[in-house]
Amino acid sequence: MQPRDSSRAAEHPEPSREGPVRTCVGCRGRASRSVLVRVAVVDGRAVLDTAKTLPGRGAWLHPGDDCIELALRRRTIGRALRAPDVDLSALTVR
């Protein structure tokens, strides 16, 4: 197992022991489900699931442009959703 990058640790602290813990597909940091944003597939497009209730697989990201940019660059969202041809244009950082 690789050691944690200290710069990421300061930006995204370790999750509390309460509640479900998920892994961000951008930075690979772990955080509470309540802190992360869920991405799901609706009609072939990746959309932010703000209510965290859409059916199907979800990918989790820290809110903010850094993790979204990392996930888009690494192409991890399509893999996490098991939909390699999903349209990611709704997630593009402006």
List pLDDT tens digits, range 32-79.
999 999 999 999 999 999 899 999 999 999 998 999 999 999 999 999
- Distinct helix (H) and strand (E) counts, the chain: 3, 5
pLDDT band at 19 (very low <50, low <70, confident <90, very high): confident
For position 93, what pLDDT does the model report? 66
Residue of 70, 58, 73 whose CA lies nearest to 29? 70
Class level of CATH domain 21-91: alpha beta
Residue of 5, 55, 51 whose CA lies nearest to 28? 5
pTM tops 0.85 = no
Question: What 3-state class would DSSP assign to 8?
Answer: helix
Give the Cα separation of 37 and 51 in Å (integer): 9
Residues 42, 46, 52, 55: is their CA dihedral positive or negative? positive
Instruction: Identify whether the C-beta of residue 90 lies closer than 8 Å to the C-beta of residue 47.
Output: yes
